[in-house]
Amino acid sequence: MSQQTLEAIVFDKNLDSLKILDQLLLPYKTHYIDIESIDDAFQAIKLMQVRGAPAIAIVGAFTVTVDVHRSLQANEKRTVAELVNKIDYLVTSRPTAVNLSNALNEIKQLLRSSFKDSEVVNEAVFDVIKKYSVALHEGDLDNNYKIGDNGVKYITETLKKQNFQGPFSIVTVCNTGSLATSGHGTALGIIRSVHAQLTKEAGNDFWFEHAYPLETRPYNQGARLTTYELNYEKIPFTLICDNMVTSLISSLSKKRAVKSSTAPVKFIIVGADRVVKNGDSANKIGTFQLAAIANYFNLTSSNEQDKIKFIVAAPNTTVDHNTATGDDIVIEERPPHELTTLEGPLVSKNGSIGEKTVVGIATPGIQVWNPAFDVAPHQLIDAIVTEDYPVHEKQNGEFSL
């Protein structure tokens, strides 16, 4: 296995060059891809070599920066209007994640407020785009640490209100860590912060003991990427399949050990690709069922200490203030082969890693439905944690975003 890294996006401010970590090769191989044009980025985002709503927004912005830089170096002539058309094309690479469209639309607004459509793209245009992109990247990292700290505050307050004592566990889905952002992460960032701050030695009556990342079929971001990050950070965790959550929560609530831990699940923390005005939240497929599972256990328990909180963690850049409810979110459908095949390296009995291959796991030629996301309704969400504090909680059953 090659040297591990959690740096998903590498932008060189001096050379104005961009590299992204090819996440399709993780956790077995570390390889960076050069992004030199908008077309390069479109393919990388579409193929999910880079993924995660904040990360693809940052890559999108840096890509426009690099594309303009290379065009100027080659002395190519194009108008601001032509550049805007290319930016619109890049937005279509992942339609559900609002961060990408938000960032690129802000770049378009900056261009149109400072330049005429007919003007030729020049160094002044480049400077505006680069300044915005660098600020987006640096701001996202700062906001992720704030999300982590706000998540710790919410979790601490919740456990104190419940008079909960002892160790607790957290369930998460997909990958929402450094690999999906500029660093630290959103939902996984909260787990990082909880692991660092809510230790047994911290002096509280409760402490974090274990994380349970879901495999996250059909693309296995949890198995490939979240376990990679948790292992890198030495955070205690156990990987489970998507359909094991109810058994996990039930077993732990009855003090039946899962491996060596009996710490009950107290929180399910997920990221988001789009949060709309009423709090409905689009995230990786399977998120809705996690919210429904938490709701079931809460309805069937009379003990407040047993309640499970369902938390959405996302920066404000993920909030879509123009969409009223989750019914209006466009859900991307992925290609059938992502569900009917598995792709990865051959692993020998002695653990050595071989060549990458594709293995079929379904009857050839069948009909497949493969939505990439679903929408957790706001009624099942307890809190939306952003970089702002206090966290968003419902008043009279409704969020106000």
Of 140, 273, 280, 374, catalytic: 273
Are 219 and 52 within 8 A, CB to CB?
no
In whole angstroms, what is the distance from residue 267 CA to residue 175 CA?
A: 16
The sign of the CA dihedral 69, 72, 76, 80 is positive
The whole-angstrom separation of Cα 279 and Cα 383 is: 9
The CA dihedral of 71, 77, 81, 83, to the nearest 10 degrees, is -10
* 383-385 vs 392-393, strand pairing mode: antiparallel
Angle between helical axes of 98-114 and 123-161 (0-180°, round to 10) = 140
Residues 30 and 73: their CA atoms lie apart, in Å, by: 30
**Token representation of residue 9:** 């996006």
Q: What is the DSSP letter of 311?
A: E
67 is catalytic: no
Label the pairing between strands 32-35 and 319-320.
unpaired
Report the residue count for the chain.
401
Active site residues: 273
